[in-house]
Amino acid sequence: MSLPGTGRAGTAGANAPAALPAAAVAPATEPSGFERLWSLATLYRNDAHPILQELKLRGRYHGQYHWLESEQGDARDWEDRRSRFGVDARMFGKTIELRLDAQSTDGFDPWYGGLVDAFLKWKPSSAFSLTLGKQKPRLGYHDWLQSTNTQPTFERSQIFNQLRVDRAAGAVAEGAIGRFTYDFGAYSNDVDREFGGFGGGASFGGGAGWDFKETLGLERADLRVHWLHSDHEAADTVLNRYDNLFSATFWVEHRRAGFVAEAFAGTGTGADVAGFYLQPTYDLVPERVQLVGRYSFAQGDRSRTAHAIATVVAQVAVAVSHRDRPAAVTHRGIDLELGELALPIARSRGRIDRHAETSPLEQGGPLGGRLRGRRGTAT
């Protein structure tokens, strides 16, 4: 929801329109309790200040409970999936952005689990920006580069988790020129809880995109492709499973419906892997009740393994939007950065697994008929 705009002060001229009757003027909307609460996260805002225009807190908590009964055994537990706290700052005419974001661990023991994002971004125009620091390598426009606050499924896709991609210290140049977008990045593969020792190999790559929503007459229509190459060293801790990674994303939305098709591939250093997922969504009640379906497929050449998953997720959420932005359901937890709240009320999920062969797809062990997740990984 948004507040009605206020007119600019000035002298009424001869051609100025007549004033509306008092009854025709919409009354100002009183901010809700949640909006007043989220506004407390903004510690400072002054667009007229020459150095610091905005300073605000950011935070997130995602918790999830699992329950499993099977012939191999039973399991049930609560996981503190993501718990983060940090700050955002905008400076020098909002051309410089600073982000510092730390995370805790599952069970909050230890309390400090490392830095998630820690970077400076210089954006003199929409056509060019330069980001330096710990950040996401550019790959997988939907499944990886989008925040988990906007992900409608419990976790990212199985094929993406296979690639061993995580945040890394590096530099990224990117921008948008008309309908065309581009990015180029270079990253260190030696990463620890902070920035790493820069003693390992390096990765570099680029991507391009095209916005064709006007061509199709849709609210959103994006096509993105990315490539990432890695040179490996013994000290590498991320981006060290494949020599080359590829992704292609097709993402459309219109009114209540949406659809994403995203494919990934990894080649080199042994067995290659490829896979994709198809994800339709439909808002049964806009920004309140959403139906999500996902079909995933992954295959590795050396193990000759085919692993397919069909998932349907019915999700009910309550969303409270920031009054200066459109409402957006964040699905899990609280995001102080956006000033939004989303509380999951209920979810149901059905899954169908199909295995052509129970052989190793994940290096180091078989899938064994179940999805491998990265417990506690910052995503």
Each of the 379 residues of the chain gets a pLDDT tens digit; together they read 333 333 344 444 444 444 445 445 555 677 778 778 888 899 999 999 999 999 999 998 988 888 989 888 899 999 998 899 999 999 999 999 999 999 999 999 899 999 999 999 999 999 999 999 999 999 999 999 998 888 888 788 989 998 999 999 999 999 999 999 999 999 999 999 999 988 899 999 999 999 999 999 999 999 999 999 999 998 999 999 999 999 999 999 999 999 999 999 999 877 899 999 999 999 999 878 899 999 999 988 765 445 565 656 555 544 333 333 333 333 333 333 333 333 333 444 444 444 333 333 443 333 333 333 333 344 5
Return the pLDDT at 335. Answer: 33
Residue 178 phi/psi, 5-degree rounding, is: 65, -125
Return the pLDDT at 323. Answer: 33
- In this prediction the pTM is 0.74
The one-letter amino acid at 136:
K
Of 171, 122, 368, 141, the C-alpha closest to 260 is: 141
Return the pLDDT at 151. Answer: 83
Mention every residue, 6+ apart, whose C-beta is less than 8 A from residue 137.
165, 167, 168, 170, 185, 187, 203, 205, 228, 239
Return the pLDDT at 140. Answer: 96
Q: What whole-number distance in Å separates Cα of residue 199 and Cα of residue 194?
A: 14
What's the maximum distance between 2 C-alpha atoms anywhere in the chain?
A: 84
Return the pLDDT at 14. Answer: 42
Instruction: Kindly list the structural domains of the chain, giving each domain's residue range(s) and its CATH number in brackets, ordered by start.
Output: 30-355 (2.40.160.10)
Q: Which residue matches tokens 């990765």?
A: 203
Tokens of 133: 């620091």
Return the pLDDT at 56. Answer: 96
Q: What whole-number distance in Å separates Cα of residue 191 and Cα of residue 200?
A: 9
Return the pLDDT at 310. Answer: 61
3-state secondary structure of 286: coil
Q: What whole-number distance in Å separates Cα of residue 58 and Cα of residue 337?
A: 4
Residues composing the chain: 379
CB 364 within 8 A of CB 302: no
